[in-house]
Amino acid sequence: MTLQATRHNLNLAMRRFYFMFSILWGVVALDQATKWWVMASFDLYEVRQVIPDLFNLVYVHNSGAAFSLLASAEGVWKEWFFIGVAVAALAFILLLFKQFCVRHILYTVALGLIGGGALGNLIDRLRFGSVVDFLDFYVADYHWPAFNVADSAICVGVGLFLLQNLRDGNEEKQ
């Protein structure tokens, strides 16, 4: 690799790093702003119907992980476990960024979304010992577990990362 190509990759990596951090902090800001609004506007466990038979806003705290995993587990270990997982995920995102940043911009977007979601939920865990959830989708009597902007960003980010990874794999096969 020539010196010029190395400089180009370094410049590209730095621009994408700033872009990833912009996405990350944008997700955190939107996540925290929406949670603040819900906490200021709702009583705990209050439900407001938005679209009948499809979508409510509800104010709940989730002491578990995604889909309330481990929510019923007792003990201080659980809080420290989830904080540790979030910190490890953020460190892993930085490692992934180093590996994938110059491959495709979609990796940068995906990692920014995942990192922003992880940090948004980590802030809740540090402040409240649980995560504020408020988006409640349902069909008839079946309700998906309530979630928030951070959870949405993580899901979309993981989906984008996997999609780009599949596209890269298909290109390598050809």
Q: How far is it, in rounded angstroms, from Cα 158 to Cα 155?
A: 5
Determine which one of 31, 124, 136, 151 is catalytic: 151
Chain mean position to CA 16? 18
Using the structure block, give the residue that is written with the tokens 């904080």: 83
Q: Choosing from 31, 124, 133, 136, which is the catalytic residue?
A: 133
Cα 172 to Cα 31, 38, 66, 95, 102, distances in angstroms? 37, 46, 34, 22, 16
Is 151 among the catalytic positions?
yes
53 is catalytic: no
Catalytic residue ranges: 133, 151
